[in-house]
Every structure is written in structure tokens, then in C-alpha cells.
Structure 1
Amino acid sequence: MDSMNDINVGNKSRNKSLIIIVILLAALALLTWLYLSTRSRLGSLLEEKEKQRVELQHELDSLITEHNNIKLEYGTFSDSLVAKDSIIQANALEIRKLLDTQYEFYKVKKKLDRLRSISQGYLKQIDSLYTVNQELKAENEQIRSSYQMEQQKSSSLLKDKEALTEKVTMAAVLRAYKITASGVRGSGDKERITDKAKRVEKIKVCFTLGENPLLSAGAKDIYVRIARPDKIILARGRGDDYSFSYKGEILQYTMRETVNYQNQAMDICTYWINRSAKENLPEGVYVVSVYAEDFEIGQTSFELK
């Protein structure tokens, strides 16, 4: 009887142990399932957060790249907005730190929105500066073009004035017309023209001073210069008393006549006398030039045989 009781007690004890083991196993299974489920959800959350971080990082990079491209595009205009650029760069650095060290994506998102707003304001300001600069360039170009046109007009007027002055200057010059020159012999009523070199006693030069109301009236020195075929100038002497100034040079003259010019045409004849009876003039072409008031006013030639 006692043996049967011991057996029953033993069976009950084993049953309790089995029940406890089953309960523990069930609890362990439940805990394991809960652990795996939580780990899976945590992994999904971490994966989702990493995805958000990458997206925010990409958005920040795109925003900064666009900002830097704007700076490059506008060149020196960006220098005038250095302070605003510094604010943008500082905000970008702060967001990068948050993305690298924290997962406060709401705060990151908010800062990104603010940074985008600052960047848009930067773009508007720099675009406005560029537009103003282009308008100023266009205005300056118009002013420069107008200035050049005025300069051209002034230059044209100056050239016209210079041309007119030159014309007036040239017009206010004595002119000698109907210039004739020839060898002669005899005098008075017995004067005869000859082209024989050995018979020439004088060289006669006649011309007409033209009418010119632009000149000042009064005494005018007229110089006649005769060059022989060998280029020697016929002259009474070689000193200063037989020379005159022409264009800064000192020239010898053959004859000099001082006339009282009253702006009217006047006829003049003057003679060079061959005082060396023993020396015949050389054969060939003689060139006669007439000068007055630093101008050569006429020229002719004749030939002796």
C-alpha cells in the first residue's frame, strides 16, 4: 500500500516537472519570437532612417552644388554677397554634422527648408545685381557710342576747319601769271629777243601779279631766281645781300623787285644784266622761279642755243 502511494507521489512530481518544462519552453519560444520580431522591426526602422539620411544628404549636396554653380556663373558679382554666402555655407556644415552624428531628421528637414529659402534669396539678389549691371553696361555703351559720335563730329568739324583754313591760307597768296622769260640784246626801242647764248646781253622776265582781295595791301618783295642749265644761279653776288629766306632755307636770288601791291592785278618786268661781256652764257634750258612771302608763286623756262 505504501509502495503504491510512493509511486503516485512520484508520478505527480514528474507531471508537475513536465508541465513546468513545457511552460518554460513555451515562454522561451514566445520570448524568442518577440526578440526576432522586435529585431526585424528595429532593422526595418534603421534601414528606413538610413534611407532618409541618404535622401537628405543628397538633397543637401544638390542644393550646395546648385549654389556653387550660381556663384561660378555670375563670377565677380558673387563677391558682393560674401556675407550671405557665408551664412549658406555655415548652415550646410551644421546640417552635415546633424546627419553624421544624429538622427533628428525633423530638425534636419527644417534646416534644409530654411537653407533653400536663403539660397533662393541669394539667387534673386545676385540676379538683380546682374540685371542692374547689364543695364548699366548698355547705358555706358550708349554713352560711349554717343561720345564717339560727338568726337567724330568734332574731328570732322576740325578737319573741315583745317581744310577751310588751308584753303583760305592758300587763297591768301600772291600768284604770278603769264610768266615769260627770254634772252635780249639792246635796250629801249632797240631791244631784241634772242635765243643765241653768245648774243644775250640781258635776261628779261615779265609776269602779272594776280588780283587778290584777301591779301594785305602794301609793299611786297618779289624775288626772281634764274638757274642755268648747270644749276648755277645767276646772281649779282654771293653774299647775304643777294639772298632771301624761303621755307627756312637761305636762297640766292637773281633779281628783286619791291612793288606797292594794292590787291589789283599788276604787270611787272625785271632784267638780269650779263655784266661779263667776255663770258657767254651756257647753252641749254634755264629755269625761272618767282617767289613772294615765303611762297613760290610761279615758274617758267626758256632755252638758249
Structure 2
Amino acid sequence: MKKVLIALLVALSVGIIVSVIYNIKQKKELNVLEEGFALQKEELEEEYSQIALQYEGYGMKIENDSLFSLYENEKMKVQNLLEELKAVKATNATRISQLRRELETVKKIMRSYIAQIDSLNTVNQQLKNENEEVNRRYMEVTSTVTKLNAEKKALSETVRIASQMNASQIVVNLLDKKMKVTTKSKKAVKIQTSFILSQNKTTKVGKKWVYTRIYKPDNSVLVKSEGNVFRYENKNIPYSSKREIEYDGEEQSVSIYWDIEEYLPVGDYIVDIFVDGAMIGEKAFSIKK
């Protein structure tokens, strides 16, 4: 009986030891599995984090509004999946496996977006380069046109000056009724302005109007009528006398007259002479008693 009891105790002890050893082994294997699951989850989280960072980086390169909207939606999806992955237990192998498959899909979508972004950016850069080239050429053309206009204006001014005639040897006399020179204002009936119109081969030949403006001592102009005006420096100004001549480009003598029909005060006078809208000479003279 004693031997049987001892045998039972030994068998029970062996069973307990075997059970303990088995439990320890099972626990170790479970720990190994849990560590493996945790490592896999950590690696998966790292991959999701990298994808999220890439989405952040490429987002700043998108200039197309429609593509940017789609891109932002996908970026939010990645963020949500990453948050879910962080919350799920490492032992939830089924969900982690699903999230891994989701990651592969996300990677494919991102590669597609990156390709579109790079393509659009390349096209945009080409368009910018073309636009810059167009602007550069436009500025060059504008600069050239401005320069040509300035040169044309300068040339026109040179031609205008070159073609401008000149009045020399200007003489102003008072004439009496017999058309003789007099120094007595009471006998004077005309003011005669005589001059030599210079030779000029560059000016246009043909009929030309010669105008005079006679300034009295008070600086007012002798005028017969308010309608007696001509163009000078883009405005109408009054003239005292005018005469039409036939100009052939050669030097010629010209005389033009003012009929005295009013009282002319004693003092200093000035005569300005104009042809083709330009003042070609002036002469001061005096009227005495």
C-alpha cells in the first residue's frame, strides 16, 4: 500500500513538473509571437509615417486645384489609417494584415500622384520658360521700337531744323504815301519789313505764306481782325501781315507791309517773321515823333 502511494505521488509530481514546463514553454512561445506582432506593427507604422511625410512634401509642389483636392483627400486617408494602426492591438493580426494591404494600395496611388505632379510641374516649368522668353522678346521689341521712335523723332527734328528757312538782312522802315522811307511817324502810312529768305535745298518748294507779328511798346500785337491767325507750336496765334510767295529753294528778297490805320505810339517795336510754322527771324525798330 505504501509503495502504491509513493508511486502515485511520484506520478503526480512528474505530471505537475511536465505541466509547468509546458506552460512555461507556451508562455515563451506566446511572448515571442507577441514580440513579432509588435515588431511587424512597428514596421508598418514606420511605413505609414514615411508615406504621410511624402504626402506632406509633395503637396507643396501641386499647383493644379483639382489634383490638389484629390491629393489632400488621399493624404487625410493615410493619416486616418496611421491613427487606426496606432490604436489597434498588435495581436489583432487580421486588421493589421488588412492595413498592410491598404498600405500597398496607398503606395500605388501615391506613385500615380507623384507621376502626375512631376508631369504637370514639368509642363508648368516649360510654360513659365516660354512665357519668360516671350516677355523677354516683347521687352526687346518694345525697347527697339522705343529706340527707333526716338531716333525717328530726332531725325525728324534734324530734318525740320535743316529744312527751316532763315531770314537775314532784316530791315524795317516807315513809308509815306509815295512809298518813300520816312522818319516822321505822322507821315507814315505803312510799315515795311524787308529781308532775304535764305537758300535751302532741303525744304519743300512751292507756294508759302510769310507772316509777321508786330509788337507795340506795350507788347500787344498789331492785328487787323480777330480772325487773322495762323498755326504756331500747335496753337492759333494772331498775325499782323501775311504774304504768299513762290519759293524755289534759292535765296530771294521778300517785303511785307502793314497798313497804318491807327495811332502808333512812340517807342520800341519788334517784328517777328514766320514761314512754315517756324519763326525765322526778328528785328527791333523804333518809332519817333
Cα distance change of structure 1 residues 81 and 226 upon mapping to structure 2, 3 Å threshold: closer
Is 1:244 the equivalent of 2:229?
yes
Matched, 1:269 2:255: yes
Residue 281 of structure 1: which of 250, 254, 265 is its match? 265
**CA separation of 1:217/1:46 partners in 2, compared to 1, >3 Å: closer, same or farther?**
same
Aligned: 1:103 with 2:77: no
- Give the number of equivalent residue pairs: 281
Structure 1 position 87, deviation (Å): 6.8
Aligned counterparts, 1:115-264, within 5 A: 115-116=106-107, 119-120=110-111, 122-169=113-160, 171-182=162-173, 191=181, 203-213=191-201, 214-218=203-207, 220-235=208-223, 237-238=224-225, 240=227, 243-247=228-232, 248-253=235-240, 255-264=241-250
Deviations 1:119-165 (A, max 9, x none): 44543443343234323322332232123212322333333334444
Q: Between Structure 1 and Structure 2, whose CA radius of gyration is higher?
A: 1
Which structure features the higher share of helix residues?
1
- Unaligned 5+ segments in structure 2 are none
Do structure 1's residue 290 and structure 2's residue 273 form an aligned pair? yes
CA distance in 2, matches of 1:75, 1:222: 74
Q: State the Cα distance separating 1:244 from its structure 2 match.
A: 2.8
Change (3 A) 1:221 1:78: closer
Letter in 1 for 2:206: A
- Mean alpha-carbon deviation: is it higher for 128-137 or for 118-127? 118-127
Q: Does the Cα contact within 8 Å between 1:179 and 1:207 map onto a contact in 2?
A: yes
Q: Which residue is 1:9 aligned to?
A: none
TM-score normalised to structure 1 length:
0.71
* Alignment match, 2:63: 76
Q: Which runs of 5+ in 1 are unaligned?
A: 1-11
Assess, with a 3 A threshold, how the Cα gap between structure 1 residues 120 and 274 changes in structure 2: closer, same or farther: closer
C-alpha distance in structure 1 between counterparts of 2:272 and 2:106, whole Å: 94
**Identity score, percent:** 22
Closer/same/farther in 2, CA of residues 273 and 136 from structure 1, 3 Å limit = closer
Alignment match, 2:4: 16
- RMSD across aligned positions (CA): 3.9
Matched, 1:67 2:67: no
Match of 1:52 among 36, 40, 45: 40
SS in 1 for 2:93: coil
Q: Is the CA contact 1:95–1:112 (under 8 Å) kept in the aligned structure 2?
A: no
- Offset from partner CA, 1:228-247 (integer Å, 9 cap, x none): 21123345x4564xx23334
How far is the alpha carbon of 1:191 from its aligned partner?
Answer: 3.6
CA–CA distance in 2 between the matches of 1:185 and 1:91?
113
> TM-score, with normalisation over the residues of structure 2?
0.74
Q: Is contact 1:217-1:260 (8 Å) kept?
A: yes
